[in-house]
Structure 1
Amino acid sequence: MMEIINSKYYEGYEGEGEMQFIRHLSNGDKYVLRIWDGYFDEIMRELQPEESGWTGIAYYYNVEEPWWEKPWEIPDIDIVIKQLQKIKIDQLSEQSKNLLGELCDMLSSSQELNEVVWIADE
């Protein structure tokens, strides 16, 4: 098994808060996207609750404390993709816009290939 690590969104923030999206590829490898907490928080602040309350990744981020204690599998990737695609990117920094696009691509590919994605707070 090979582990492919993308630290593009964590470079320069080593030692600070880090999120990881861990994609378990169908060939047995792992792809790890390392993200500085600040970029992730900026994206998450743009999500709004549904009429029924928080759903998808926003539910885990806003309600399930402490959601970061252990890695957890994203249960409904399709809901998370829809949430992320609704974000108005004009409010985001350039890095967060790029990260949002990369997260959407990664989750869409994972969903198409029936792969599992985990989130870990390092």
Structure 2
Amino acid sequence: MDKIINNYYTGFEGEPEIKFIWVKPNNENLILKIWIGYFDTIMNAVEPINNVWSGLSYYYHLDEGWYDESPWEIPNLNPVIDELLSVDTTAFDLVTKDVFTELLTLLVNAKEKNDKILICYD
């Protein structure tokens, strides 16, 4: 049975949401549902390296990946984690910081287990 963390989408029902799905081998997936506004804030805080986007920011700025097909598998978690670790979160409000921490933790834990992460855009 899937575990769903939806407290970052509650109150935004009817508005676009992003689901990060940690696909576990035991079929007990962990799903982080967040309001698109939190995701946009996080993605807009990512700075390009040498004027080049990488990780999720690459797909975000080109409107590819999960925009084209949903669910969409993140091809490589390393650049995603690296770019998030470089984000300056001091301008984030408290909830956005919580979403950021929850997302980063999810990605790091999945990478450590060598599991995949899907993104679903609804």
Q: Which TM bucket (shorter chain)? A: over 0.9
2:31 corresponding residue in structure 1: 32
Aligned 8 A contact 1:6 1:32 in 2: yes
Offset of 1:85 from its aligned partner?
Answer: 1.1
1:105 shift after superposition: 0.8
**Does 1:72 pair with 2:72?**
yes
- Contact 2:65 2:72 (C-alpha < 8 Å) held by counterparts: no
Mapping of residues 38-117 of structure 1, within 5 Å: 38-51=37-50, 53-65=52-64, 67-70=66-69, 71-117=71-117
Identity across matched positions, percent: 36
8 Å contact kept, 1:22–1:31: yes
Q: What per-residue deviation string (whole Å, max 9, x for no partner) do you get for residues 93-122 of structure 1?
A: 111101111111111110010111011111
Distance 1:14 1:20, change over 3 A: same
Question: Post-superposition shift, 1:21?
Answer: 0.2
**Aligned to 1:16, what secondary structure does the other structure show?**
coil
How far 1:66 moved relative to its partner? 7.2
Runs of 4+ in 1 over 4 A off after TM superposition: none
Instruction: Determine the C-alpha separation between the residues in 1 that align with 2:22 and 2:65.
Output: 22
The verdict on how the C-alpha distance between 1:12 and 1:47 changes in structure 2, with shifts beyond 3 A counting, is same
Q: How far did 1:77 drift?
A: 0.5
Matched pairs, number: 121
Q: Secondary structure at the match of 2:102?
A: helix
Q: How many angstroms apart in 2 are the aligned matches of 1:26 and 1:113?
A: 10
**Structure 1 3/66 Cα, relative in aligned 2: closer, same or farther at 3 Å?**
closer
| Structure 1, unpaired ranges of 5+ | none
Contact kept, 8 Å, 1:26 with 1:113, in 2: the verdict is no
- Relative to the length of structure 2, the TM-score reads 0.92
Deviation at 1:91, TM superposition (A): 1.2
> For the Cα contact (< 8 Å) 1:69–1:121, is it kept in 2?
no
Task: Say what the alpha-carbon RMSD is for the aligned residues.
Answer: 1.4
Structure 2: 5+ residue stretches without partners: none
